[in-house]
Amino acid sequence: MLKALKKLFGKEDAAAQAAAVPAPVVTPPPAAGGQAPSIAQPIEAPAVDAQPTSSMALPTKAEPISRHDATPNSKPRRERKPKPQASLWKPEDFVVEAQEGKTRFHDFKLSNELMHAIHDLGFPYCTPIQAQVLGYTLRGQDAIGRAQTGTGKTAAFLISIIAQLQQTPPPKERYMGEPRALIIAPTRELVVQIAKDAAALTKYSGLNVMTFVGGMDFDKQLKSLEARHCDILVATPGRLLDFQQRGEVHLDMVEVMVLDEADRMLDMGFIPQVRQIIRQTPPKPERQTLLFSATFTDDVMNLAKQWTTDPAIVEIEPENVASETVEQHVYAVAGSDKYKLLYNLVTQNNWQRVMVFANRKDEVRRIEERLVRDGINAAQLSGDVPQHKRIRTLENFREGRVTVLVATDVAGRGIHIDGISHVINFTLPEDPDDYVHRIGRTGRAGSNGVSISFAGEDDSYQLPGIEQLLGRKISCEMPPEALLKPVPRKGQ
């Protein structure tokens, strides 16, 4: 929720592929801090409504009808699905040599349909979080995972979900609004990104992915729910509760539940809503629960204890908290000079894809308005921007039609856009973890990136906490005089 999610299997006949997925044969997961594979970030995916093209369809499902539309004598009808197109792909097309210290997707007995999707995305080796999590979850065990952004955790839980849903055929009689897997995430952008990743990985499996987010047309989302079965539902807590309270969604069939960015949900005050949602799902011994968090605070671990059963705990400790591919700078600058510094950095260097972070929505709005007024193609991303406009803004930034994207930390997690050359912290974040998430928007996929932070009289006191998290000092520089030139007035 990128054009490709960056984030397998012996020859079988068609009958075996339609059968249950066998228990995985797992190579020993790499130790925390071990050698990471060459690619370690989420995969960008096609639109959520991508249609399967595999000739290997899942068992026939009942056509969805609403529970409250059903009469005592009514039964769901059989769903009529278009015949999938024949696929020329075969497992022999995906040859990956075994390498010491790396785990291949071949090492888990995944279905041909899932392997085909992974092959399309170009990921032969698991990232450390994927290797360790899948080693447990493919056996049905609950898991708690901690890893920094960009390590591939989204693909880890999606692959596990898809394998589980393929292993267990759906009931013959299903009503609409009964998802089999539920993923809860704190922000709309993250939900959309996860759904895109899920669409890429379910491309050949025939599974349906749906999203519920606030700020989007409720009736449009409802029509999507009424049109087909919901296999994997990705939602923000508030909008999911809206659907539940209207009786449109029923969670009693949930087989797998994922709570992503649990620490963020705590910070944003969503836990009471999440509790309401979880109470509607089957008891925890009857569902698989996966919880992921960037940090393992006492509060997060207490929640995990309440919602999981004997979970495996997977922690991936990076050698460096911040990526080595990101060059970090801090400019000591008066608050009144910050905008001049930003304007001159962008215009004098002719940067084409820059993210600027500020702490408050009103700051974001003012910065974007001034940039636009001064002739820079800028757009803003914050909680005040309607969801449909936020999605359009992200696509325009992704496609290069927007040069500078000004955002609050709502964009700091879960958004993966290739080619961001620079991240600028117009104001230093209050939470040091947000600094790492912000600068992680650049220097992705092995490319180099640059982060520049403006330390003014109002926020320089945040530096010691950031340096403590990074485990090193960041040298503070005075900006060159040329970068503090007055912004030319329009027409000069």
- Chain segment 283-316, per-residue pLDDT in tens: 999 999 999 988 888 899 999 999 999 999 999 8
Q: What is the pTM of this model?
A: 0.64
Per-residue pLDDT, averaged over 340-362, amounts to: 94
What is the distance, to the nearest Å, from the Cα of residue 469 to the centroid of all Cα atoms in its chain? 23
pLDDT at residue 262 greater than cutoff 60: yes
Q: Which of 275, 273, 130 is nearest to 201 (CA)?
A: 130
Task: Quote the pLDDT of residue 63.
Answer: 46
Query: Are 159 and 42 in contact, with CB atoms under 8 Å apart?
Result: no
pLDDT at residue 254 greater than cutoff 90: yes
Type of residue at 345: L
Q: Which of 448, 462, 456, 459 is nearest to 478 (CA)?
A: 456
Give the full edge-to-edge strand order of the sheet including 256-259. 209-212, 232-235, 181-184, 256-259, 288-293, 143-146, 312-315
Task: Quote the pLDDT of residue 394.
Answer: 86
In which residue ranges of the chain is CATH 3.40.50.300 found?
14-315, 326-484
Task: Quote the pLDDT of residue 316.
Answer: 82
Unique residue bearing structure tokens 């620490």: 263
Give the pLDDT confidence of 395-424 residue by residue, as tens digits: 899 888 999 999 998 765 656 777 899 999
Using CA atoms, how far apart are residues 51 and 423, in angstroms rounded to an integer? Answer: 36
Q: Which of 184, 308, 185, 174 is nearest to 252 (CA)?
A: 174
**CA–CA–CA angle 108, 56, 177 (5° rounding):** 90
Unique residue bearing structure tokens 């190579």: 27
Report residue 251's pLDDT band, with 50, 70 and 90 as the boundaries. very high
* Minimum mean pLDDT range among 159-173, 180-194, 325-339, 478-492: 478-492
Burial class (CB in 10 A: 0-12, 13-18, 19+), 141: middle
- Residue bearing the bigger pLDDT, 121 or 9: 121
Task: Quote the pLDDT of residue 220.
Answer: 80
Using CA atoms, how far apart are residues 442 and 419, in angstroms rounded to an integer? Answer: 7
Task: Quote the pLDDT of residue 398.
Answer: 87
Task: Quote the pLDDT of residue 44.
Answer: 39
What is the distance, to the nearest Å, from the Cα of residue 462 to the centroid of all Cα atoms in its chain? 27
Type of residue at 189: E
Query: Are 231 and 64 in contact, with CB atoms under 8 Å apart?
Result: no
- Residue bearing the bigger pLDDT, 214 or 254: 254
Per-residue pLDDT, averaged over 162-190, amounts to: 89
pLDDT at residue 77 greater than cutoff 50: no
Report residue 38's pLDDT band, with 50, 70 and 90 as the boundaries. very low
Express as a percent the part of the chain with pLDDT over 90: 47
Per-residue pLDDT, averaged over 317-344, amounts to: 83
pLDDT at residue 279 greater than cutoff 80: yes
- Residue bearing the bigger pLDDT, 386 or 395: 395
Per-residue pLDDT, averaged over 459-473, amounts to: 89
Task: Quote the pLDDT of residue 40.
Answer: 36
Give the architecture-level CATH label for domain 14-315.
Answer: 3-Layer(aba) Sandwich (3.40)
- Residue bearing the bigger pLDDT, 13 or 468: 468
Q: Give the burial string for 114-128 (b: 16+ CB within 10 Å, else e).
A: bbbbbbbbebbbbbb
Task: Quote the pLDDT of residue 27.
Answer: 42
Task: Quote the pLDDT of residue 17.
Answer: 38
What is the CATH superfamily name and number for domain 326-484?
P-loop containing nucleotide triphosphate hydrolases (3.40.50.300)
Type of residue at 36: A
Query: Are 295 and 125 in contact, with CB atoms under 8 Å apart?
Result: no
Task: Quote the pLDDT of residue 307.
Answer: 95
Q: Which of 409, 382, 410, 381 is nearest to 397 (CA)?
A: 381
Express as a percent the part of the chain with pLDDT over 70: 78
Task: Quote the pLDDT of residue 318.
Answer: 58
Unique residue bearing structure tokens 């096609």: 46
Q: What is the mean pLDDT of the chain?
A: 80
Task: Quote the pLDDT of residue 219.
Answer: 80
Query: Are 420 and 353 in contact, with CB atoms under 8 Å apart?
Result: yes
Q: Which of 225, 212, 275, 284 is nearest to 254 (CA)?
A: 284
Task: Quote the pLDDT of residue 257.
Answer: 97
Strand-pair partners of 235: 184, 212
* Minimum mean pLDDT range among 5-9, 68-72, 216-220: 5-9
Task: Quote the pLDDT of residue 436.
Answer: 85
pLDDT at residue 60 greater than cutoff 50: no
Task: Quote the pLDDT of residue 277.
Answer: 95
